[in-house]
């Protein structure tokens, strides 16, 4: 049977990719009575997604799914957030915990992506979306300049809708096909490699100073990624740990090292290894992250098409933060709102869909990315990656060391450590860059 003789499969909206961006968009659209197709190349939603992550801003989904954390597969509520600077053999941490965080909707929780993504896509299905799995979208279909559907790698043919939402993740094939995103450079993308390690719940609570459902995230800067630009992380789940390194692809190639060797090295660090003792590796995975934020932002829409989540480069990575799931959900919901308005007006033109960008400009999605736009290049600078973590650790060691010799005051100790590692001019320059990137 040729394409023309088949009944045309028409929807109100097509969403490509059942990650957090796509499933949120499909859920919101289905709830408003739209006929939605949610297409996922994986065997099930989440099958292709790297597991073990922190979901921040959990309230975003609450208007559609009130108190969803009582039912959703969430692991632990984040009550402790730690930032650790590593040198080869020492560590300095800023360790924050608050009782204010001790409620589900306040700060976030850890999740395992295959379980959570599957659950969220299930909610979209319950609301009436048609989830089509094991199906790759290969191309967009056009009428003149307007996108009117997608070409799928499947027998039943192509799907049509006046609006397509691209939620196909990092390095989006669809955004590039539509001419909205350029080819991305290797210094704009990072590779995240991660392991999930089994460790019983009681041991996790004792070892990480947690009670009951409490959980923590620890972001690492410095030696966690060796000499390669990047960082490490360690998150607590109910009875597993998620540990990984996130490294710049250009820097990996330049230093000629393998990402999983860096993860092994990180796991063996004296400040990390005791936290992992007796754990068993359950799973290993790798995935790309578009980490350059504002600098790699594509055009977000054209007639008949909106781009969301990682496909649009909505990842907020500043060393202090690694957030993408909440940006994906917020942009998926904004895309759904825009699609609903376009249906009401019967107008799917580029001009009408430009409302999507304005909606994101008034939310944290584009505001955070713009405000912290200098952070990605600052955090990946050579001195921030290798020199300052080393200085912080060495200064702490000299301050705390008690060996019977007279001590210098703190300022002199720090200046002594810095000597030969960083000049005063570089320090002033970095101070200015830090202030521009993170402070003011
Ligand atoms: C190691 C690592 C750790 C991370 N940790 C965190 C964290 O702790 N907190 C946080 O907020 N963020 C974290 N992130 C970032 C976060 O994972 C992403 O920002 C988020 O998943 C983006 O969601 P998305 O829906 O846009 O894309 P994805 O989750 O990537 O979903 C895209 C979906 O589209 C499907 N797809 C792709 N192409 C096609 C196609 N052609 N046809 C059909 N389907 C297709 C894919 O199979 C996938 O299911 C981490 C990322 C990595 C790699």
Residue 225 pLDDT class (50, 70, 90 cuts): confident
Q: Dump pLDDT digits (tens) for 370-390.
A: 999 999 889 888 899 889 999
Dihedral angle computed from the Cα positions of residues 266, 271, 274 and 280, in that order, rounded to the nearest 10 degrees: -20
> What do you get for the CA distance between the two ends of the chain, in Å?
63
Average of per-residue pLDDT across 110-119: 96
By the 8 A CB rule, do 80 and 41 touch?
A: no
Residue 107 pLDDT class (50, 70, 90 cuts): confident
Question: Does 224 map to a domain?
Answer: yes
pLDDT at res. 357: 98
Same-domain status, 51 and 167: yes
pLDDT at res. 292: 84
Question: Does 79 map to a domain?
Answer: no
Boundaries of domain holding 11: 3-73+112-182+298-361
Of 235, 268, 290, at which residue does a domain stop?
290
Q: From the CB of 65, is ligand 1 less than 6 Å away?
A: no
Residues linked to residue 160 through DSSP beta bridges, in sequence order: 10, 149
DSSP secondary structure of 248-314: EHHHHHHHT--HHHHHHHHHTSTTTHHHHTT-EEEEEEEEEEE--GGGG----EETTEEE-GGGGT-
Same-domain status, 67 and 123: yes
Question: Does 78 map to a domain?
Answer: no
CA of residue 293 to ligand 1 center, whole Å: 15
- The 10 Å CB-count burial string (b at 16+, else e) for 84-117 is bbbbeebbbeeeebeeebbebeebbbbbbbbebb
Both tokens of residue 149?
């559907």
Q: From the CB of 322, is ligand 1 less than 6 Å away?
A: yes
Average of per-residue pLDDT across 213-224: 93
pTM reported for the whole predicted model: 0.96
Cα separation, 201 vs 241, whole angstroms:
10
Average of per-residue pLDDT across 6-31: 94
User: Which protein residue's CA is at the shortest distance from atom 37 of ligand 1?
Assistant: 168
Q: From the CB of 289, is ligand 1 less than 6 Å away?
A: yes
pLDDT at res. 254: 92
**Of 298, 287, 291, nearest in space to 175 by CA:** 298
Of 290, 307, 326, at which residue does a domain stop?
290
Same-domain status, 386 and 237: no
Atom of ligand 1 nearest to the CA of 46: 49
Same-domain status, 322 and 418: no
Same-domain status, 167 and 308: yes
User: Which protein residue's CA is at the shortest distance from atom 52 of ligand 1?
Assistant: 192
**Of 311, 341, 306, nearest in space to 327 by CA:** 311
Q: Dump pLDDT digits (tens) for 286-327.
A: 999 998 889 889 999 999 999 999 999 999 988 788 999 999
pLDDT at res. 250: 93
Q: From the CB of 168, is ligand 1 less than 6 Å away?
A: yes
Cα separation, 296 vs 355, whole angstroms:
20
Average of per-residue pLDDT across 247-270: 94
Average of per-residue pLDDT across 244-250: 94
Same-domain status, 67 and 117: yes
Same-domain status, 397 and 251: no
Same-domain status, 178 and 36: yes
pLDDT at res. 16: 98
Q: From the CB of 291, is ligand 1 less than 6 Å away?
A: no
Residue 6 pLDDT class (50, 70, 90 cuts): low
102 has pLDDT over 80: no
Of 327, 361, 395, at which residue does a domain stop?
361
By the 8 A CB rule, do 369 and 361 touch?
A: no
Q: From the CB of 58, is ligand 1 less than 6 Å away?
A: no
**Based on the structure, what is the number of domains in the chain?**
3
Cα separation, 12 vs 160, whole angstroms:
8
Same-domain status, 254 and 401: no
The rounded percent of the chain whose pLDDT value lies above 70 is 98
CA of residue 407 to ligand 1 center, whole Å: 51
3 has pLDDT over 60: no
Question: Does 101 map to a domain?
Answer: no
By the 8 A CB rule, do 72 and 124 touch?
A: no
Q: Is 254 exposed, middle or buried (0-12, 13-18, 19+ CB in 10 A)?
A: middle
Cα separation, 265 vs 287, whole angstroms:
19
CA 236 → CA 73, 111, 347, distances in Å?
14, 9, 47
Cα separation, 378 vs 435, whole angstroms:
10
Cα separation, 118 vs 383, whole angstroms:
41
Both tokens of residue 140?
């967009």
Calculate the average pLDDT of the chain: 93
Q: What is the DSSP letter of 320?
A: S
Same-domain status, 305 and 285: no
Same-domain status, 258 and 305: no
**Of 3, 303, 355, 327, nearest in space to 152 by CA:** 3
Q: What is the DSSP letter of 101?
A: G
CA of residue 412 to ligand 1 center, whole Å: 47
Q: Dump pLDDT digits (tens) for 156-175.
A: 779 999 999 999 999 999 99
Pocket test for ligand 1, best of 130, 149, 328 (most atoms within 8 A of CB): 328
Q: What CATH number has the domain bearing residue 178?
A: 3.50.50.60
SS (H, E, C) 230-255: EEEEEEECCCEEEEEEEEEHHHHHHH
CA atoms within 13 A on the CB side of 266: 32
Pocket test for ligand 1, best of 60, 259, 310 (most atoms within 8 A of CB): 310
């Amino acid at each position: 049977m040729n394409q023309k003789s088949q009944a045309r499969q028409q929807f109100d909206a097509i969403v490509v990719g059942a990650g957090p961006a796509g499933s949120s968009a499909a859920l919101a659209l289905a709830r408003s009575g739209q006929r939605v197709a949610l297409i996922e190349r994986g065997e099930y939603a989440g099958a292709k997604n790297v597991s073990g992550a922190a979901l921040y801003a959990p309230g975003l989904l609450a208007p559609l799914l009130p108190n969803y954390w009582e039912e959703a597969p969430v692991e632990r509520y984040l009550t402790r957030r730690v930032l650790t600077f590593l040198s080869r053999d020492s560590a300095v941490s800023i360790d924050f915990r608050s009782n204010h965080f001790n409620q589900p909707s306040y700060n976030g929780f850890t999740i395992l992506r295959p379980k959570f993504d599957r659950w969220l896509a299930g909610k979209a299905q319950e609301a009436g979306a048609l989830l089509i799995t094991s199906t790759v979208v290969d191309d967009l279909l056009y009428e003149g300049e307007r996108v009117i559907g997608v070409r799928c790698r499947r027998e039943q043919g192509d799907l049509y809708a006046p609006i397509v939402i691209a939620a196909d993740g990092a390095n989006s094939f669809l955004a590039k096909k539509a001419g909205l995103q350029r080819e991305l450079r290797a210094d704009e993308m990072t590779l995240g490699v991660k392991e999930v390690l089994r460790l019983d719940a009681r041991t996790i609570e004792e070892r990480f100073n947690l009670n009951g459902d409490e959980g923590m995230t620890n972001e690492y800067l410095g030696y966690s990624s060796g000499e390669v630009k990047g960082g490490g992380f360690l998150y607590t789940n109910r009875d597993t740990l998620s540990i990984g390194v996130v490294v710049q692809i250009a820097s990996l190639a330049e230093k000629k090292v393998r990402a999983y060797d860096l993860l092994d090295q990180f796991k063996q660090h004296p400040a990390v290894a005791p936290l992992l003792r007796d754990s068993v590796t359950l799973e290993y995975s790798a995935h790309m992250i578009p980490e350059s934020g504002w600098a790699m932002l594509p055009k977000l829409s054209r007639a008949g098409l909106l781009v969301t989540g990682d496909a649009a480069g909505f990842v907020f990575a500043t060393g202090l933060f690694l957030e993408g799931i909440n940006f994906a959900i917020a942009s998926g919901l904004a895309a759904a709102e825009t699609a609903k308005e376009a249906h009401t007006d019967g107008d799917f033109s580029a001009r009408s869909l430009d409302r999507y960008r304005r909606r994101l400009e008034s939310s944290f999605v584009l505001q955070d990315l713009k405000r912290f736009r200098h952070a990605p290049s600052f955090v990946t600078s050579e001195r921030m990656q290798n020199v300052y973590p080393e200085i912080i650790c060495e200064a702490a060691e000299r301050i705390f060391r008690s060996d019977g010799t007279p001590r210098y005051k703190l300022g002199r100790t720090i200046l002594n450590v810095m000597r030969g590692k960083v000049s005063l001019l570089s320090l002033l320059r970095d101070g200015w860059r830090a202030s521009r990137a993170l402070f003011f």
